[in-house]
Amino acid sequence: MKTLQLRIEEHINKLSQFTATPGKGTTRLTYSNEDRQARDYIIDKMKEYGLAVHEDGLGNIFGKLEGTLKDAPSVLIGSHFDSVPNGGSYDGPAGVVAGLEVAALFAEKQLTPKYPLEIIALIEEEGARFGGGLMGSRGITGLLSEDDFKNLRDKDGISTEEAMVKIGLDPSFPKKRDPKTIKAFLEMHIEQGPILEEKNIPIGVVEAIVGLTQFEVTVEGQAGHAGTTPMDRRSDALVTAAKMIAQFPGLAIEEGEGTVITTGKLNVFPNGANVIPKKTVFTVDIRSGKEEHIQNVIRNLNKLIESYSTNGIKITAVQQLFMQPKAMNQEIVALMKQISSALETPYCSINSGAGHDAMVFSDVTDVGMLFIPSKDGLSHCPEEWSDSKHIANAVQIFFETAKKLTEAK
């Protein structure tokens, strides 16, 4: 059998090939052909490692190792396998691969746990196709209702259900899962920041995950001729958007304590060089370790919207996602620190500035999360890279943690 590190590198390299933008990073949108290819690979590996595989009504993939206890709740280990546009090869897949390799170690050592172990590959964590994000985990925990799921459309107006059927998935399968069937959720993820690399520490034990919210803002004005419309007779949707967006950083800096705000997407309609923009649609992503800062920035965003809704300009904002800051389960945190020490793997505590499926599962079960270093702190770009030996460290810690959690009462 190939060494653990070699298998990890092979999984990451294989999955990185399933992209719509070869040579320009990973673009793997949910329910795309690239999703289908990655899904087939993950399912093959789950079966190779002796897991019973099923997909739910959202397209989340589960690989189960039955325990000796019948109908007992499972310890879930995994992450997401979708990506941002032109992203990296590790954000998400590293955590799915870590889960797969924990299952491989159970198989290699012919271990049958008391409580079942389930490896999970989650869909649409990034929200790059249907907006919002954390869709796979929100569907499992019931935070995303059946109707909300059905009403989602991508930028071409394709619904989630149509897109699922197109790649052979069945949206009629159950989505929400009874929380009593989940004993714990463990997620390994790349840090996506510079801290672990700068400290030269291979493992970060996550203590808490920031709260976050995302809005889609639409500014509507009046299209017109760029040459014949006097400057004092324009309702220019792009100039208005630009004036608002330019003030966003100040809102976050004013809040302080690590509060951040980002406009990552901006579309202009009709997008003609000699046409005054009629409409702009842009996103606002707000995060902080404290919910009060998020609420303050939302209040100030709404004040900006009100103040710019004049002279023929109409502005609407739709909140696509809101998650409060979440603390990880302290017993699992302590257990993973103890195991890291026993394995003589240096670790430190760390908080997450990125959102993760772990923050959704923390509403319904005990959750633990590990980070590994990101080269140059880069993520959400083709330069994203992490060392397979760090992923192997996390696999060993999760393997010991999973043995404890699948044995303990």
The token duo for 409 is 């009462």
Mapped onto helix, strand or coil, the DSSP state of residue 147 is helix
**Of ligand HGY, Mn ion, none, which one sits near residue 92, judging by CB under 5 to 8 A according to partner kind?**
Mn ion
The residue written with tokens 């590198």 in the block is 9
Closer by beta carbon to ligand HGY, 240 or else 386: 386
**Residue 135's CB: how many other CB atoms inside 10 A?**
32
**Residue 155's CB: how many other CB atoms inside 10 A?**
11
Least Å from the CB of residue 125 to ligand HGY: 5
- Enumerate residues 105-164 that contact ligand HGY by CB under 6 A: 125-126, 133
Which amino acid would we find at residue 386?
S
Q: How far is CA 137 from the centre of its chain?
A: 9
Closer by beta carbon to Mn ion, 91 or else 255: 91
Least Å from the CB of residue 84 to Mn ion: 6
Closer by beta carbon to ligand HGY, 315 or else 360: 360
Closer by beta carbon to ligand HGY, 133 or else 136: 133
Least Å from the CB of residue 127 to ligand HGY: 7
Which residue has the CB atom at the shortest distance from ligand HGY?
354
Residue 397 host element (H or E): helix 388-405
**Binding of Mn ion by 91 (CB under 5 A):** yes
Among 57, 67, 78, 92, binds Mn ion (CB under 5 A): 92
**Of Mn ion, ligand HGY, none, which one sits near residue 133, judging by CB under 5 to 8 A according to partner kind?**
ligand HGY
* Count of residues interacting with Mn ion (CB under 5 A): 2
- Contact indicator for 134, 80 with CB cutoff of 8 Å: no
**Residue 285's CB: how many other CB atoms inside 10 A?**
20
Phi and psi at residue 121, to the nearest 5°:
-120, 115
| Beta-sheet pairing, 366-372 with 182-190 | parallel
Least Å from the CB of residue 162 to ligand HGY: 24
Gyration radius from the chain CA atoms: 22
Give binding residues for Zn(2+) as ranges.
Answer: 80, 91, 126, 189, 380
Q: Catalog residues that contact Mn ion under the rule CB under 5 A.
A: 91-92
